[in-house]
C-alpha cells in the first residue's frame, strides 16, 4: 500500500501550486470593495491531532486548508491572523477560561488549576479565542474536518445560545460559508446549525466553525489532500467573507461623542456635557496626558469641561466650543512648554474675556502641576486622594471618573520613588488627609512606593494583571450597584481617553477601557455580570479609535444570559 504523505510533503506540494491557485482565485472573484480582518483557527494540532485515518491526521488537513484560505484572503486585501501555522499545541498550561459557577449561577473567567484532558481542554480552546480577540478580528473561522464512518459532506456551525447578535451576524456568516464552499467544491451540503462550540462562543466577533469534509471517508480524504480542492475551498471561504463585508454588518449601535480628531472630540464632549454653557473652561494639552487626567476632579469642582489644544495653536473646533460655552474664566493647565501663552490668549479672545480672566496652574513638571491642581481641588472629608503613575495613562483614565465624582485630587508618582510634590502634598495635609486609593500594579507603582505611602495613609491598592483588569477592579470597587451607562474609552492611546474622564465624572458614570476592536475577557465578564443594570454605553472617539465592531461585542456581552447550558 502506498504510504500517505507527511505534513512536510503536503506543505511543500501546497507551496508549489501557489502561482497557479493564485491565478485561479483571481479569476474567480475580484478584489472586495472593502477589506476586513479575519482570524483563522486550524483546529487541533500538537498534543491534539484530532481524528486520524489512513495515516492522515485531521490537524494536517485543517492546517493545509487554513494556509490556503489565508493566502487567498490576503490576495484580496484582507488582514489575516492564525492561531497556528505549524503542527503545534496552542496552550499547554492552565490559563483563565470561561467556567460555569453554581455559586453565581452564571459564567466567570478564571483559572481552575487544571490543564484538562484529551480530546481538547478549555485552556487550548481559550488560547485560540484569546488570540482572535487580541488580533481585533472582524470575523473568526475555525476550520475542522469530520470523522464518522463513510459519511460525507460539509457542515457549518455558529453560536446562537447566547445572544441575538450571534443569531443574526454569526448565522449569516455561517450560511454564506456553507453556500459558497459547497458551490465551489461540489461537496454535499449537510447542514448549517447552531451549536455553541467553545471557540466560537468565546470569540468576541461573529464566528463560525466549518467541517469541510469527512477524513474518515476515503473520497473526502483524497479531496482534502488535493491542492486543487483546497484552493476551491479557499475561494469559497473568500467569497463568503467578501459578501459578508459587503453587507456592512457593523453599524452604529450606541451614542457616540466624536470629532474629526482629538481636539474636535474634546469639543464635542464639552458641548454634550455642558449644553447650557459653563462658567469656567479648563484648557489642557492634547499632546501629553498627565495634566488633563489630573484635571478631572477640578473639572467636577468647577463644573467645567476640559478642552484639549496643541501647544502652538488653538484649533478651530476648540475655539468654536469656547465661544459657544461662553465662560467667564479659563483655567490653563501646565506651563508654556505644554500650552503656549499665545494659545491661551487666543482662547481668551474666543470667549471675549479680559486678560485677567485666564488662570494658569503650572509646576516644574507633571508631578508638581498635579499637586498644584490638587491644592485647587481641596480635600473632601474622608474622601482621600487618588495616586497613579505619572507614566501610565490607562490607570489614570480608570481613576479619573471616580476621583472626579468623589472630589478626590489625583496625584502622580514615579514608579520607584514617591515623587517629591506628591510627598509634600501628603505631608502638608497630614491632619485632614488619612487615606489614599492607589491605582496601578507593581509594574507602574512599585511595592516600596506603596509602602512609603502607607507610612502616612491608609491605602487601598487597586490593580489587575493588565490595564483592562485594573479598570475592572476599579469598576467593581466604585460602581458596585445601581443603573449605569458606562463611558467607553480607548485603553490604547491617550487623546480621547483624556476627554472621557471629565465627561464621565459629570455623568457619575464609570470609564470602561477597551481596544479599538478588543474587548478584554475581564471587561466582557464584568459586562455580563452587570448586564441588567447597563441600559447602554456612550462611546468617546471616532470609529478609528473605537470601532462599530466593538459596539457589537459590548452588546453581545450585555445580552449574554446566565445560566447557560453546559456545552
322-337: pLDDT as tens digits: 999 999 999 999 999 9
CA distance 10 to 345: 70
CA distance 58 to 120: 14
Q: Residue for cell digits 450571534?
A: 166
- Nearest CA to 236 among 152, 145, 150, 173? 173
Under the banding of pLDDT at 50, 70 and 90, the label for residue 196 is confident
List the beta strands (DSSP E) in 418-537: 435-439, 458-462, 487-490, 511-514
- High-pLDDT (> 90) share of the chain, %: 79
Locate 58 and state its grid cell: 485531521
Q: Which residues of 209-240 are buried (b: 16+ CB within 10 A; e: fewer)?
A: bbbbbbbbbeebbebbbebebbbbbbbbbbbb
Pairing of the two strands 79-82 and 37-42: parallel
If DSSP codes are grouped into helix, strand and coil, which group holds residue 389?
Answer: strand
What is the full DSSP assignment across 16-52?
HTHHHHHHHHHHH-PPPSS--EEEEEE--BTTB---E
Q: pLDDT at residue 104 above 80?
A: no
What Cα–Cα distance (Å) separates residue 230 from each residue in 10, 74, 143, 223? 12, 16, 12, 8
- CA angle in degrees (0–180, nearest 5) for 411-413-418: 115
Residue 119 confidence (pLDDT): 65
Residue 142: CB atoms within 10 A of its CB come to: 27
Query: Any idea which fold 7-89+115-246 has?
Result: Aminopeptidase (3.40.630)
Q: pLDDT at residue 215 above 50?
A: yes
The residue-averaged pLDDT of 290-297 equals 85
Q: pLDDT at residue 561 above 80?
A: no
The residue-averaged pLDDT of 441-462 equals 97
Helices 316-325 & 262-273, crossing angle to 10 degrees?
10
- CA angle in degrees (0–180, nearest 5) for 40-46-49: 85
What Cα–Cα distance (Å) separates residue 273 from each residue in 209, 267, 304, 316, 511? 44, 10, 9, 19, 15
Q: pLDDT at residue 479 above 50?
A: yes
Higher pLDDT among residues 120 and 50, named by residue: 50
List the beta strands (DSSP E) in 390-523: 410-413, 435-439, 458-462, 487-490, 511-514
What are the beta bridge partners of residue 41? 142
Residue 124 confidence (pLDDT): 94
CA distance 412 to 392: 10
Residue 18 confidence (pLDDT): 37
Residue 7 confidence (pLDDT): 45
Q: Residue for cell digits 496626558?
A: 289
Gyration radius from the chain CA atoms: 27
Under the banding of pLDDT at 50, 70 and 90, the label for residue 24 is very low
Taking all residues of the chain, what is their mean pLDDT, rounded to a whole number?
90
Residue 164 confidence (pLDDT): 62
Q: What is the pLDDT of residues 249-260, one digit of tens each?
A: 999 999 999 999
Q: What is the pLDDT of residues 149-158, one digit of tens each?
A: 899 999 999 9
- Nearest CA to 151 among 190, 183, 179? 190
Under the banding of pLDDT at 50, 70 and 90, the label for residue 494 is confident
Q: pLDDT at residue 567 above 50?
A: no
Residues of the chain with CATH 3.40.630.40: 7-89+115-246
The residue-averaged pLDDT of 535-549 equals 95
The residue-averaged pLDDT of 277-303 equals 91
What are the beta bridge partners of residue 489? 513
Residue 560 confidence (pLDDT): 65
Residue 495 confidence (pLDDT): 81
Residue 473 confidence (pLDDT): 98
Contact 519, 554 (CB under 8 A): yes
Locate 52 and state its grid cell: 486520524
Residue 17 confidence (pLDDT): 37
If DSSP codes are grouped into helix, strand and coil, which group holds residue 337?
Answer: coil
Overall pTM surpassing 0.85 (yes/no): yes
Direct distance between the N- and C-terminal alpha carbons of the chain, in angstroms, rounded to an integer: 41
Residue 120 confidence (pLDDT): 74
Locate 409 and state its grid cell: 485630587
Under the banding of pLDDT at 50, 70 and 90, the label for residue 26 is very low
**In what helix (H) or strand (E) does residue 375 lie, and over which residues does it extend?**
helix 366-377
Query: Is the bond into 213 cis (omega within 30 degrees of 0)?
Result: no
What are the beta bridge partners of residue 214? 146
Contact 214, 145 (CB under 8 A): yes
Q: pLDDT at residue 106 above 50?
A: yes
What are the beta bridge partners of residue 306? 282
Residue 10 confidence (pLDDT): 43
Residue 162 confidence (pLDDT): 57
Q: pLDDT at residue 3 above 50?
A: no
Residue 161 confidence (pLDDT): 62
Q: pLDDT at residue 206 above 90?
A: yes
- Nearest CA to 344 among 313, 298, 306? 313
**In what helix (H) or strand (E) does residue 208 lie, and over which residues does it extend?**
strand 207-214
Residue 559 confidence (pLDDT): 72
- High-pLDDT (> 70) share of the chain, %: 91
Residue 5 confidence (pLDDT): 47
**In what helix (H) or strand (E) does residue 218 lie, and over which residues does it extend?**
helix 218-224
Amino acid at each position: 500500500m502506498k504510504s500517505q504523505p507527511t505534513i512536510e510533503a503536503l506543505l511543500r506540494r501546497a507551496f508549489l501550486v501557489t502561482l497557479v491557485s493564485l491565478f485561479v482565485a483571481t479569476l474567480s472573484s475580484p478584489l472586495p470593495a472593502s477589506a476586513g480582518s479575519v482570524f483563522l483557527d486550524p483546529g487541533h494540532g500538537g498534543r491534539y491531532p484530532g481524528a486520524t485515518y489512513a495515516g492522515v491526521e485531521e490537524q494536517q488537513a485543517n492546517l493545509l486548508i487554513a494556509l490556503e484560505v489565508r493566502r487567498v484572503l490576503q490576495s484580496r486585501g484582507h488582514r489575516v491572523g492564525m492561531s497556528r501555522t505549524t503542527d503545534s499545541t496552542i496552550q499547554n498550561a492552565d490559563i483563565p477560561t470561561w467556567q460555569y459557577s453554581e455559586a453565581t449561577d452564571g459564567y466567570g473567567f478564571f483559572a481552575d488549576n487544571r490543564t484538562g484532558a484529551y480530546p481538547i481542554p478549555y485552556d487550548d480552546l481559550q488560547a485560540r479565542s484569546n488570540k482572535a480577540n487580541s488580533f481585533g478580528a472582524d470575523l473568526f473561522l475555525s476550520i475542522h474536518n469530520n470523522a464518522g464512518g463513510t459519511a460525507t459532506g460539509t457542515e457549518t456551525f455558529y453560536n446562537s445560545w447566547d445572544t441575538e447578535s450571534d443569531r443574526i451576524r454569526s448565522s449569516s456568516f455561517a450560511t454564506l460559508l456553507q453556500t459558497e464552499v459547497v458551490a465551489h467544491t461540489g461537496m454535499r451540503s449537510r447542514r448549517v446549525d447552531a451549536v455553541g462550540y467553545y471557540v466560537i462562543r468565546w470569540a468576541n466577533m461573529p464566528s463560525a466553525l466549518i467541517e469541510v469534509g469527512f477524513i474518515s471517508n476515503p473520497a473526502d480524504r483524497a479531496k482534502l489532500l488535493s491542492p486543487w480542492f483546497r484552493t476551491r475551498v479557499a475561494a469559497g471561504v473568500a467569497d463568503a467573507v467578501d459578501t459578508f463585508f459587503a453587507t456592512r454588518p457593523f453599524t452604529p449601535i450606541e451614542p457616540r461623542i466624536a470629532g474629526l480628531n482629538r481636539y474636535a472630540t474634546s469639543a464635542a464632549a464639552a458641548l454634550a456635557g455642558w449644553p447650557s454653557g459653563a462658567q469656567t473652561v479648563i484648557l489642557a494639552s492634547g499632546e501629553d496626558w498627565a495634566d488633563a487626567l489630573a484635571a478631572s476632579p477640578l473639572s467636577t469642582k468647577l463644573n467645567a469641561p476640559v478642552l484639549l489644544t496643541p501647544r502652538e495653536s488653538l484649533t478651530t473646533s476648540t475655539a468654536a466650543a469656547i465661544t459657544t460655552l461662553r465662560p467667564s474664566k479659563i483655567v490653563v493647565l501646565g506651563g508654556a512648554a505644554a500650552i503656549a501663552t499665545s494659545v491661551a490668549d487666543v482662547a481668551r479672545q474666543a470667549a471675549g474675556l479680559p486678560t485677567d480672566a485666564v488662570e494658569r496652574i503650572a509646576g516644574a513638571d507633571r508631578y508638581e502641576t498635579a499637586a498644584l491642581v490638587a491644592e485647587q481641588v481641596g480635600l473632601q472629608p474622608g474622601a482621600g486622594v487618588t495616586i497613579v503613575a505619572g507614566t501610565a495613562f490607562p490607570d489614570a483614565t480608570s481613576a479619573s471618573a471616580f476621583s472626579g465624582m468623589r472630589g478626590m485630587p489625583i496625584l502622580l508618582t514615579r514608579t520607584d520613588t514617591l515623587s517629591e510634590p506628591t510627598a509634600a502634598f501628603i505631608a502638608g495635609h497630614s491632619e485632614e488627609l488619612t487615606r489614599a486609593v492607589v491605582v496601578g500594579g507593581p509594574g507602574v507603582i512599585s511595592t516600596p512606593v506603596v509602602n512609603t505611602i502607607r507610612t502616612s495613609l491608609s491605602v487601598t491598592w487597586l490593580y489587575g494583571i493588565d490595564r483592562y483588569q485594573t479598570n475592572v477592579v476599579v469598576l467593581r470597587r466604585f460602581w458596585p450597584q445601581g443603573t449605569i451607562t458606562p463611558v467607553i474609552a480607548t485603553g490604547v492611546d491617550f487623546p480621547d481617553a483624556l476627554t472621557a474622564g471629565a465627561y464621565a465624572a459629570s455623568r457619575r458614570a464609570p470609564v470602561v477601557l477597551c481596544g479599538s476592536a478588543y474587548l478584554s475577557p475581564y471587561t466582557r465578564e464584568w459586562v455580563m455580570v452587570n448586564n441588567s443594570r447597563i441600559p447602554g454605553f456612550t462611546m468617546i472617539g471616532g470609529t478609528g479609535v473605537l470601532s462599530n465592531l466593538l459596539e457589537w461585542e459590548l452588546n453581545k456581552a450585555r445580552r449574554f444570559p446566565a445560566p447557560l447550558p453546559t456545552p
